[in-house]
Amino acid sequence: MTQNYSTKDCFDGRQAECEWMVQTQLKSRDITNEAVINSMLTVPRHRYVKQDKQAFAYYDSALEIEAGQTISQPYIVALMAQALDLKASDKVLEIGTGSGYSAAILSRIALRIYTIERHSILAQLAKERFNIQGYDNIEVRVGDGTLGWSEKAPYDAILVTAGGPEIPDSLIRQLAPEGRLVIPVGNKEDQHLLRIKKTLNQELLEEDLGSVRFVPLIGTKGWS
């Protein structure tokens, strides 16, 4: 079920491009989760990229953002959100706020989003974007997300949007029973998108969702 938030319309007349993105890049592939599709139709992606990249905001690609980072391809954002299998009552932790776009997408589906970014400029820009759009269920923090955000744990779902060498044990600890963790793991160039489910008995079930390419996860439990 999708949350019924009232949000400001910041589409600047680009709704048709967003609908085209959802039709040709998500529905035509394997994105079927209705809450994810509705959310991707609700958040104006061009508001999350730099001025000189706005023309390409609804294209099928990742784009460069500030601090040498990237906003992920729309399909990958939708794939990860779908893999988290979110409920409207879920509390979610995201590592790698970046532009804020994926946190915004998650915030239209789940109850509360906590997102951590290591670059303060990105955290600041994301906060401003959330304020403008009235997305008031997202909390942003600057720091090393590989350590998680223990004060707010446990989380029903955790999303890592940068590629690390291993699954940080701190994130496993902060995952609630029946929680889902989605994380790219591999080397600095190529990773596999993994989904880890924690059972009620604290067992971990791991699935490989395919090959992906993310910027590196830098931190205590990531790359140095």
Q: In terms of CB distance, is 196 or 217 closer to ligand SAM? A: 217
Min dist CB 18 to ligand SAM, Å, is 15
Q: In terms of CB distance, is 151 or 202 closer to ligand SAM? A: 151
Within 112-131, the residues that bind ligand SAM by CB under 6 A are 116-119, 122
- 101 in contact with ligand SAM (CB under 6 A): yes
Query: Long-range CB contacts (< 8 A, 24+ apart) of 4-10?
Result: 5/108, 5/134, 5/135, 5/137, 6/134, 7/42, 7/108, 7/133, 7/134, 7/135, 8/132, 8/133, 8/134, 10/44, 10/47, 10/132, 10/133
Q: What is the contact mask toward ligand SAM in residues 205 to 224, using x (rule: CB under 6 A)?
A: ---------xx-xxx--x--
Within 157-196, the residues that bind ligand SAM by CB under 6 A are 161-162
In the complex, the residues that contact ligand SAM under the rule CB under 6 A are: 69-72, 95-96, 98-99, 101-102, 116-119, 122, 144-146, 161-162, 214-215, 217-219, 222
